[in-house]
Structure 1
Amino acid sequence: MVGIVLVAHSAGLAAETAALARGIAGADAPVVGAGGTDDGGLGTSLDLIERALASVDQGDGLVLIPDLGGSVLTARLLTEPGRVELADVPFVEGAIAAAVSAAAGAPLADVLAAAADAWTYRKVSGP
């Protein structure tokens, strides 16, 4: 399965979003959060992200889903085209769509496409 790492400025946000995604996609979905700094503060940590990637790497590719700003820049440092891809998607909706797709056994390109489709999800109808 494709592994998914949620990169957030807050450890709590990353962990709870990963838990929500696993709750919807299935407990075995390879989704983990990498949030906050090494000392538990707000920010991002390259080391935490690298450890998270290793923990969900099953050899089928990896998707990084950052929340905003600096997490995007940090995640970009770890991308490897065709192996570790950065998804520019809404954080929660993209995480869930990617997790469901990954849990179904979709290949990396399809997991990225499912996450990107989250941009079309509407919460209310109309303009």
Structure 2
Amino acid sequence: ITSNAVPEPDGSDSEKNLFVMLDTAIAALKTPVEGNDVEKEKAAAAIDKTNRGLKNSLNNVLTVRAELGTQLSELSTLDSLGSDRALGQKLQMSNLVDVDWNSVISSYVMQQAALQASYKTFTDMQGMSLFQLNR
């Protein structure tokens, strides 16, 4: 999976199963090698192969972990952006729908006073004639 995998020296495929790798290393460590150079070399080769396989597996895990971290960071950023937009939309909706009661009541009282004044002026003017205005 990783692009920097350590290849086997003989060009063979490396083992992918961690448990098989560990079993191979355990078997190599249990093999008596005292005085037997061939067995010693086989055990060393098995342990080296296990070491390379474990290193490649760790690289794979770290690569996946880095990708998941990046994706988690993207999700966190998107979540934060969504929260910010939701707050902005809530504020915009509040500005469009909510009422400032102080200004509404004040405007209503002013309109009511203006209406009463115009009504009084109308009724006063209705009873007057042109001759009364001239005095």
TM-score where L is the length of structure 2? 0.21
Question: Greater helix share, 1 or 2?
Answer: 2
Bigger Rg, structure 1 or 2: 2
Q: Which has the higher contact order (CA 8 A, sep 6+)?
A: 1
TM-score where L is the length of structure 1? 0.22
